[in-house]
Structure 1
Amino acid sequence: MATLKERRGSLSEYMLRTPAVGPVIALLVAVVIFSVTTSTFFNVDNLSLVVKQALVIGTLALGQTLVILTAGIDLANASIMVLGTLIMAKFTLLHHTPGIVTLIAGIFVAAVLGAVTGSVVTGFRLPPFIVTLGMLTIVTAVGRIYAAGQSFPVTDGTLGFLGQSQYLFGQIEISNGMWLMLIMYLAVWYGLTRTAWGKHVYAVGNDPEAARLSGIQVRRSLLGVYVIAGVIYGIAAWQALGRVPNADPNAFQTGNLDSITAVVIGGTSLFGGRGSVMGTLVGALIVAVLRSGLTQAGIDQLYQDVATGVLIIVAAGLDRLSRGRQR
């Protein structure tokens, strides 16, 4: 029979190979704690609301995961998304452009901005942190100039489609946005785990020089990641309009940090080459559960931010520790 030490070792090795296991356990623990400490958390309507609250950040975090897997980071994702919401809503409201046209236009602009970011990172070999910090400033300013201090309500059914809901078994509210996010996560998971493209993404994140020597087009792979991430940010803009039918240039000011939080808590390494989108999905749910549970427990928003910050530091520290053990 295996000794206790051997069992602990095998469990530790399994946790290292499957980084999403820890976040799943943390999510279950959080749900149990808030279900016991509050009288309103564990009911169907509240749990459905928690998932809805995770939709926008969860979608942003999906694109952020791809970038972080390549050992990069994207500080401009939320500002790109907000600009997308403004393009979609303003054109529809002021120019009576069909919603499907403005939706495509918003996603296209987000993809172009992703391509610009990727081109600068790969072409000039600048750190993604610096490039995306600059893009954050530029895109935020452009969005506010474009909005001219106004917000724009959604007036087209296509733009608000993701906010519509159905009821499973007559009780469980499921929005169109939930279905779309699930499909997106499954599609990206398949791409990362079952295609050559996914192997290239992980290889570039692990060691770009080794990836280049093995025949991988590193610059092309990186550029592709930023373009795909841009498309996802554009879809996040659609999610945002479905969640709150109003495009506001000042919305989601901490969306970039929240998406990074979801990715890190979900077990994706900030050093690249390790992690999973399913872990990110769990991470986004953890953030939503934490905020909802603490709010229902009467905890002030500032203390909620403190708790979230502690989670980020702990998750990053565990990531660093696990990387050291693997070496």
Structure 2
Amino acid sequence: MGRKPNDQEPSRFASLVLILVTLFSCVFVYAVVSTLLNPGVNSQSSSFESLEVAGSGDLGEKKGECCRGIDNLELWGPAVKWGSEFKFNSSVECCQACKTMCNGNDGPCLCDTWVFCGNREACGSRFGECWLKKQKDPLSPDRQEAGEAVSWTSGLTFGKGEGIVGMETEYGTIHIKLLPDCAPHSVTYILELLTLRHCAGCQIYRAESRGESWDSEGNHIKDAPFGPPFALIQGVLEAQGTPFKKMPTEACPTIRRGSVAWIGSGPEFFISLANHEEWRTSYTVFGSVLPEDMEIAEKIAQLPTRSDVWNNINVSVLQKPVPLVMRRMKKSLGDLNAKAKSE
């Protein structure tokens, strides 16, 4: 796909060992939602449907990849299930138990945080404890402690109306549904960006349309080339003055239209305008654009560009980069519904 010169080459594949270990663990991946490519956004429940699509488990991931947490981290919050009386053999089972409490038609989950003690030696009698919790603010989870001495593994999961952030640009705000159970480290970084008053240096600098290779729904046209153009907008999410820690490889599903993913270990990222099955499992996906906001990404892809060559790949670079800021979503789910109806 290409990235700016002088950057390290991206890591291409998630660990096969990790895939084998987790392959059959997460049976009901994202049970609350339907497929990513559902085009329906014109009914009375259009915003509910778009939230469902953006948070869908049908992202092309292998089973078990999207029930992840962060080791050596204990998240706090009121308990809805007490771990002393609620035990499992693995963090994946604990994660799934939290997800099963998030099966309503709309709104927040009864459980949005799970905390598991999985180190038999360090946990002692607490081994297997699974604490299910509810955060006061899902975009700013209460952290008890972190570090190598912490024996807990913690993770988040968002309901349909939660975990949505705004990527503000001069051409409109692109709403992105974050996927913390697929990419917990990546989402933690995005949540940190939300606390900044500005994001100087964050921008979109590459823009390539779908050309004649993909249709309006992102499907590849038979016998057409796979680029260039490559049907994406690309940028960087690194605020000047704030050190960026390289992202580990997390869930790497097949890239779909609307997928938001890192290039290598970041901070470069892209939003895909098409379904890129040819890229297989090459990129960590940490979010998905709400379908009705893809028109903003398409608009940016049509801005004036100049040709360049990155590592022997022909690319289209914006003549004028588009600054962006990551913001908390100020509108409620009801406001989103009103917006959809008015449009």
TM-score by length of 1: 0.27
Question: Structure with the greater relative contact order (CA < 8 A, sep ≥ 6): 1 or 2?
Answer: 1
Tell me which protein shows more helix as a share of its residues: 1
TM-score by length of 2: 0.26
